[in-house]
Structure 1
Amino acid sequence: MGGRTRGGDAVRAEQNGLIVVLAFGGIVMSLTQTLVIPLLGMLPAILGTSATNAAWVVTVTLLAGAVAGPVMGRLGDLYPKKNVLIGVTAVMVVGSVLCALSTSLWPMLIGRALQGVGIGVIPIGIATMREVLPAVRLGPAIALMSSSLGVGGALGLPAAAALAQYGSWQWMFWGTAVLGVGIIAMMALRIRSLPAAKPDGTLDPIGAVGLAVGLISLLLAVSKGADWGWLSALTLGLFALAAVAFPVWGWWVLRHPSPLIDLRVAARRPVLLTNIALECSR
């Protein structure tokens, strides 16, 4: 009896470690999304550019994260999720270091795009929980992982504002780099390496490009429409491109044997409601 209890305690401790590491990773990745907002007024002077160009430092992360989420999720099906989680976190670390060293616009934009890729930790983390955790623990764990988007975004604003006021703006990027290295170490120790869920599948590059075109067109139009003018040719053109790209992309993935996103599964009520809740928390 005692041996079985100790074994059960060990399993539960392993599951707790997995949940903590993935939730903490999600918080840090979502924190990077809002990290630079308190810096917006300072960025033109820091980067030697205009306020309009500096605003792209926020926008590019949003765009990269929107595209990276489903693509990284698909890679998590094709390869062991532990490896993909560590790889995605490493990309965020590289982006953070590049941002910390940046003194002009383009290196900062590249670094911020790489930081945006880190948001892929959240969908891969949820998929990892589905594979490892028992049903009784799965619901609360996924809820915690999903809420990390809101928690990280909320923490990013005051933390960055404090660093910008009382220290150096570079500290926020060095800080996320250090946190990322710590997360990589914890992932290596706490997450078991499991076989790929769909090792015989494909990434579907056409589907990835189609999704990127649709998402980037729509998000650019929505985020920049006020600056460009809602009735400007550029804004209306982007809305039109998104209106064409999404149906074409949907037609493609519904016929692809190994689609980037299985729309039939995504349309099921539990999955649909979870995705809606996830987006509302961002």
Structure 2
Amino acid sequence: MTGVAVAEPGAVQRGRQLWLTLLALSMAGMIVSVQQTVVIPLLPRLMTVFGVSVAEVTWVFTASLLVGAVATPLLSRLGDMYGKKRMILFTVGLLILGSVVCAVSVSLPVLIAGRALQGASAALIPLAIGMIRDSFPQEKVMTAIGVVSATMGVGGTLGMIVTGLIADRTTSHHPVFWITAGLGVVAVLLIAVSAHDTGTSAGGRLDLVGASLLSVWLVCLLLAVSQGNDWGWGSGRVVGLFAGAAAVCALWVFSQIRLRAPMIRLHLLIGRRSLPANLAALLLGFAMFGSFTLVSSFVQTPSSAGYGFGGSVLDVGLYALPSTVTMLLSSFMAGHLSTRLGPARSLALGAAVTAAGFGWFTVFNASVLDLIGANALQGLGFGVAYAALGALAVQHVPMDQSGIASGVNSLVRSIGGSASGAVTAALLTSITIAGSAIPTRGAYVLSFAIITVSAIASALVVLVSGVMAREVSGVG
């Protein structure tokens, strides 16, 4: 015996297996983010290609949003019941199928159908977070969640760059979707080979009543939010959708309380430990998705408006590269920060840094350097915040509910993003330069200020909830 510790071959092999699994999940997450952002710059071109109005072409984005909102809690729950790997492969399979449908589409309805299929892949991120929580050692969980979460920003940037490169060379939208289909096939192969379910499956039967009611009120709510600017917030359709969402939501809550095995146990949504994480997710989602659309529009605004950089879609992606780099770097640091500070304080720190980036561009937005510096700061904050958010969402729930807990958190974040899109669109369309439809600089400043406040509020939510939890613990 030499006294030198030697790692067991089995432990080394398991470690390699876990990091290969992380690579596969990260790539799949990146592709999901690519498909979410890749169509945004294409919308004006699709209007010309299909000869349709703005309201009609918006369904290319809205269809994916609605299906994603319904699929996220449903597939997350199925992942807990029957295995997360199976559901991850299913979601990526739907993404590939949807990409192929979009790639061969020659009419708007077919393209929308393909986008709806792609939208189901939104469930992949919470499923991946649940698998990480089940499989990885406790000390590695937050770092792994951080890496997968960072792929959202990476994929969003890559989507813009890919679209920009293709837009410069062809007027067709088909190549973009062939690329996402090809990447999806690679991801399926990696996941099939490397990923393994190690957690306990809950089994049982799906709550079909709860799933149906949840689907109805989510579609009503998000449809009203996403179409409110086009249809008019006081119109009968929008008011009716909001009223319908409230009524069906009440029925859904009643059904979840009454059932012994509901689809979503309400403590995962509004419980004492879950509510702060979900509120923080709502506010961070509002900030992140709002920044995507605001920065894209600001960069492409011609400088003749008195602001903006007159950039292309490709420029939007290139200017976002600093945030991608810093997000990746900070996601790897997230585990170390969590060990020192705890997930809640790490989330507060990340949200505060993100707010500093938004605040910077709110005040200083005259040059490209201002944008690059603000983007780098935002990426640094988001990398830490989203890793901590993913860990908080599943920290206090049983292993067999990790998928649905992460799915609820992801769903709430998506609702925040939808609300952000509606709010910023309303501001940019109502505060315009006289005699034109171009938003004023003040409209952008106000919008960036709102998402800055949203990021600050996210930090305050987790800090205040942490203080209250310690006080309750001290009293007990």
- TM-score between both structures, scaled by the size of structure 1: 0.92
Task: Specify the alignment match of 1:188 in structure 2.
Answer: 192
C-alpha contact (below 8 Å) 1:23/1:148 kept by paired residues: yes
Task: Specify the alignment match of 2:19 in structure 1.
Answer: 16
Post-superposition shift, 1:249? 1.0
Aligned-pair identity in percent equals 37
Q: Deviation per CA, 1:26-60, whole angstroms, max 9, x where unpaired?
A: 12112211111111111123234333211110111
CA distance in 1 between partners of 2:281 and 2:155 (Å): 13
Task: Specify the alignment match of 2:112 in structure 1.
Answer: 109
- Residues matched between the structures, number: 281
Post-superposition shift, 1:70? 0.5
CA distance in 2 between partners of 1:61 and 1:248 (Å): 26
Post-superposition shift, 1:268? 4.0
State the one-letter code of the partner of 1:181.
Answer: V
Cα distance, 1:102–1:78 mapped onto 2, change above 3 Å: same
Post-superposition shift, 1:179? 0.5
Q: Structure 1 residue 241 and structure 2 residue 262: aligned?
A: no
Q: Deviation per CA, 1:122-152, whole angstroms, max 9, x where unpaired?
A: 1111111111111101122223333333332
Post-superposition shift, 1:3? 5.8
CA distance in 2 between partners of 1:96 and 1:118 (Å): 11
Q: Deviation per CA, 1:177-215, whole angstroms, max 9, x where unpaired?
A: 00100000000111024476111x222111111111111
Q: Per the alignment, in what secondary structure is the counterpart of residue 257 of structure 1?
A: coil
Q: Structure 1 residue 231 and structure 2 residue 234: aligned?
A: yes
From 257, 275, 278, the equivalent of 1:254 is 257
C-alpha contact (below 8 Å) 1:39/1:161 kept by paired residues: no
Q: Per the alignment, in what secondary structure is the counterpart of residue 211 of structure 2?
A: helix
Task: Specify the alignment match of 1:38 in structure 2.
Answer: 41
Q: Deviation per CA, 1:214-244, whole angstroms, max 9, x where unpaired?
A: 1111111111111111111111111111121
Q: Structure 1 residue 124 and structure 2 residue 100: aligned?
A: no
CA distance in 2 between partners of 1:253 and 1:34 (Å): 34
CA distance in 1 between partners of 2:189 and 2:28 (Å): 11
C-alpha contact (below 8 Å) 1:48/1:104 kept by paired residues: no
Q: Per the alignment, in what secondary structure is the counterpart of residue 44 of structure 2?
A: coil
Task: Specify the alignment match of 2:76 in structure 1.
Answer: 73
C-alpha contact (below 8 Å) 1:230/1:236 kept by paired residues: yes
State the one-letter code of the partner of 1:141.
Answer: A
C-alpha contact (below 8 Å) 1:122/1:145 kept by paired residues: yes
Post-superposition shift, 1:272? 3.9
From 27, 30, 35, the equivalent of 2:30 is 27
Post-superposition shift, 1:158? 3.0
State the one-letter code of the partner of 1:173.
Answer: F
Q: Structure 1 residue 169 and structure 2 residue 173: aligned?
A: yes
Q: Where do 1:200-279 residues align within 5 Å? A: 201-268=204-271, 271-279=274-282
Task: Specify the alignment match of 2:459 in structure 1.
Answer: none
CA distance in 2 between partners of 1:57 and 1:146 (Å): 25
Cα distance, 1:188–1:273 mapped onto 2, change above 3 Å: farther
C-alpha contact (below 8 Å) 1:81/1:196 kept by paired residues: no
C-alpha contact (below 8 Å) 1:94/1:111 kept by paired residues: yes
CA distance in 2 between partners of 1:154 and 1:268 (Å): 35
Higher RCO, 1 vs 2 (CA within 8 Å, ≥6 residues apart): 1
Q: Which moved more, 1:265-274 or 1:222-231?
A: 265-274
Q: Which moved more, 1:23-32 or 1:146-155?
A: 146-155
C-alpha contact (below 8 Å) 1:253/1:261 kept by paired residues: yes
Task: Specify the alignment match of 1:138 in structure 2.
Answer: 141
Task: Specify the alignment match of 2:155 in structure 1.
Answer: 152
Task: Specify the alignment match of 1:82 in structure 2.
Answer: 85
Cα distance, 1:273–1:147 mapped onto 2, change above 3 Å: farther
- TM-score between both structures, scaled by the size of structure 2: 0.56
CA distance in 1 between partners of 2:103 and 2:270 (Å): 41
Task: Specify the alignment match of 2:427 in structure 1.
Answer: none
CA distance in 2 between partners of 1:103 and 1:120 (Å): 28
Task: Specify the alignment match of 2:58 in structure 1.
Answer: 55
CA distance in 2 between partners of 1:272 and 1:166 (Å): 48
CA distance in 2 between partners of 1:106 and 1:188 (Å): 32
CA distance in 1 between partners of 2:265 and 2:235 (Å): 35
Cα distance, 1:132–1:269 mapped onto 2, change above 3 Å: farther
State the one-letter code of the partner of 2:173.
Answer: W
Q: What RMSD in Å do the two structures reach over aligned CA positions?
A: 2.0
Cα distance, 1:131–1:211 mapped onto 2, change above 3 Å: same
Q: Per the alignment, in what secondary structure is the counterpart of residue 116 of structure 1?
A: helix
